[in-house]
Amino acid sequence: MILSRSLARIGRHLLLGAAALAALAAVPAQATMVRLHTVLGPVDIDLLDAEAPLTVANFLGYVRSGAYANSFIHRSMPGFVIQGGGYTWADAGGYAKVPAGPAVKNEFSSTRSNVRGTIAMAKVDKLPDSATTEWFFNLADNSSNLDRQNGGFTVFGRVTAPGMVVVDRIAALRVVDADPRYADALDNMPVMVMPTTAWRRENFVMIDKAAELPARESQTESDRVFNYIEALYPQYAAPASPSSATFDGYYYRYYAATNAYLGSKNGQLYYLVPALSPDIQPLGSMTEWLSAAQAAGY
């Protein structure tokens, strides 16, 4: 019954979650959102399409090509940044560099500073226009440092509040020098567990895939709420496949990992865990949930 009680708690704590998110700046309606499916939960990123168009296009090119599938976070500097986009892992062949395309022109602007919760492009020292595949999340306000060196590091998106919870989980992991052969590239790598013999997938902070979420204007209100709950409570609602469907008047998603459902009907949000109870349980009004989702950028 632990799962059932915990899910019920979601509804009771809705207003607390909404209050915490109210401090976020409003997200432009046209912003593209990308979800990184990490082993510790989804990290959702609102891209700054209009403010950094070349950088966003560069990042989306790698996302759409599947270049970040089976990649991993390879650098963690607690209190500073965590970095990814550089390496993929295959159990049969170990790790390899993400194939890089042409470098993108630096689009740094002081109106998009390297503050906590932003994502920016990594690049080669003393080469401002050298960014390709690698990016990093700012764990703190790094503007006094990263805004002032190498032409400034281009911020091109902002992580949602639920996504930053996952980013902070990653930043709290143990850091090791994974492979001296890669010089500075893997000398501060976060690990889930230390290897007992050789490196395996379960040792890494894996990103199974990166994918765009549908544009907000094309989503139903229920889908926006489902996306928000998936980000807020990945332990109960790991992102679904296939996506939303309808049955008996409900619009719903199914979560195979926990054999659970989220659904909406007649302005209310519900969940169902058949293994625990045959009864559909209410989680509150869609109006409240949509307000919280919208405050978080969904």
What is residue 23's predicted lDDT score, i.e. its pLDDT?
38
Same domain, 223 and 159: no
Mean pLDDT of the chain: 88
Query: In this predicted structure, what is the pLDDT of residue 91?
Result: 81
Confidence bin at 25 (pLDDT 50/70/90): very low
In a domain, 231, yes or no: yes
For residues 55 and 283, give the distance between their C-alpha atoms in angstroms, rounded to a whole number.
39
Q: What pLDDT score does 17 carry?
A: 45
Evaluate whether residue 101 is within a structural domain.
yes
pLDDT of residue 2: 39
User: Which strands, in side-by-side order, build the sheet including 135-138?
Assistant: 75-77, 81-84, 135-138, 118-121, 155-159, 41-47, 33-38, 206-212, 71-72, 87-90, 94-97
What are the two backbone dihedrals, phi and then psi, of residue 222, each rounded to the nearest 5 degrees? Answer: -65, -40
In a domain, 92, yes or no: yes
Cis omega before residue 242 (within 30°)? yes
Enumerate residues 6+ apart whose C-beta is below 8 A from 255.
Answer: 236, 237, 238, 240, 261, 262
Percent of the chain's residues with pLDDT above 90: 72
Max Cα-Cα span within the chain: 62
Residue 197 sits in the same domain as residue 124: yes
What separation, in Å, do the N-terminal and C-terminal C-alpha atoms of the chain show? 30
pLDDT value at residue 56: 98
User: 148 and 233 in one domain?
Assistant: no
Asked if the structure places residue 26 within a domain, the reply is no
Count of all residues that appear for the chain in the document: 298
- Is 50 a domain residue? yes
Helix boundaries (H) for the chain: 2-12, 14-21, 53-65, 143-146, 161-171, 221-232, 286-295
Domain match, 151 and 225 both: no
* Listed residues 211, 245, 278: the one ending a domain: 211
Domain count, the chain: 2
User: What pLDDT digit, counting tens, does each position of 121-179 carry?
Assistant: 999 999 999 999 999 999 999 999 999 999 999 999 999 999 999 999 999 999 998 77
Domain boundary among 211, 228, 251: 211
Q: Whole-prediction pTM value? A: 0.88
Contact status, residue 94 vs residue 84, Cβ threshold 8 Å = no
Q: Are both 193 and 286 inside the same structural domain?
A: no
Please indicate, yes or no, whether residues 123 and 223 belong to a single structural domain of this protein.
Answer: no
Residue range 187-244, pLDDT digits in tens: 899 999 988 888 889 999 999 999 999 988 889 999 999 999 999 988 888 877 678 9
CATH number for the domain including 96? 2.40.100.10
The last residue of one of the domains, among 189, 211, 233, is: 211
Say whether both 272 and 141 belong to one domain.
no
* Of 6-10, 112-116, 271-275, highest mean pLDDT: 112-116
Q: Which of 1 and 153 is assigned the larger pLDDT? A: 153
Same domain, 207 and 248: no
> Is residue 96 situated within a structural domain?
yes
Q: Is residue 27 part of a domain?
A: no
The domain of 98 spans 33-211
All residues at 6 or more sequence positions from 218 whose CB lies less than 8 Å from its CB, including other chains: none
pLDDT at 184 over 60: yes
Contact in structure between 40 and 84 (CB atoms under 8 Å): no
